[in-house]
Amino acid sequence: MAGPRPPLDPEAARLLARAANARAAILVEGWSDQAAIEALARRRGRDLRGEGIVVVPIGGATNVERFAAALGPHGLGLRVAALCDIAELQHVRRGLARAGVGEAPAQTAAADHGSFACAADLEDELIRALGTAAVERVLDAEGDLASFRRFQEQPAQRSRDLHAQLRRFLGTRAGRKVRYGTVLVDALDLERVPLALDRVLAHVRG
């Protein structure tokens, strides 16, 4: 999947869900999150399309309420879950609650409410799960290691540790983020999958 692409809007998401005969939706902030979730589902032997599950990029956590309203109990009636960055978790929980998804945030845990958060963001989680040496090997296999070495020499990067440099490099271009959302998940040991990714998939299982 190549980027950059505009996110879906709620009406486009409704059309997508209807066309897929969906019964559940995972709301994610962007296309890279969609790529990672779909890659993990494939590696876990799951067929999301066959299960009636759509993964919907919403263009940032601030849009979660609009999409949950369109797809959730007050819209198409789908089971809805959301994956976000930890900084956005409380906002996402409130947005889901206002759209009628789950219970009010004060009355339930985030997981019961259908919201799941990466420790910082997707790239941070995947680098931690793989380790920096393994991520560099993936960059080498993808033909991006020389570009990363040049990136490390930029004045703004020299004082950062390797983890921070990798995280910034992976996030500098939309197309790169999307590609590595798949590639890094494909490189993971399945015993080390970031918990939020597995949990959001489990939440929408039939």
Q: Give tens-digit pLDDT for 143-162.
A: 999 999 999 999 999 999 99
Where do the structural domains in the chain lie, given as residue ranges?
Answer: 10-120+193-203, 122-191
> pLDDT by residue (tens digit) across 46-71?
999 999 999 999 999 999 999 999 99
The alpha carbon dihedral of 155, 173, 135, 119 has a sign of positive
CB distance 105 to 97 below 8 Å: yes
CB distance 161 to 127 below 8 Å: no
CA distance 138 to 164: 16
Residue in the block written with tokens 């589902």: 41
pTM of the model: 0.91
CB distance 8 to 57 below 8 Å: yes
Domain 10-120+193-203: top CATH class: alpha beta
Residue type, 135: V
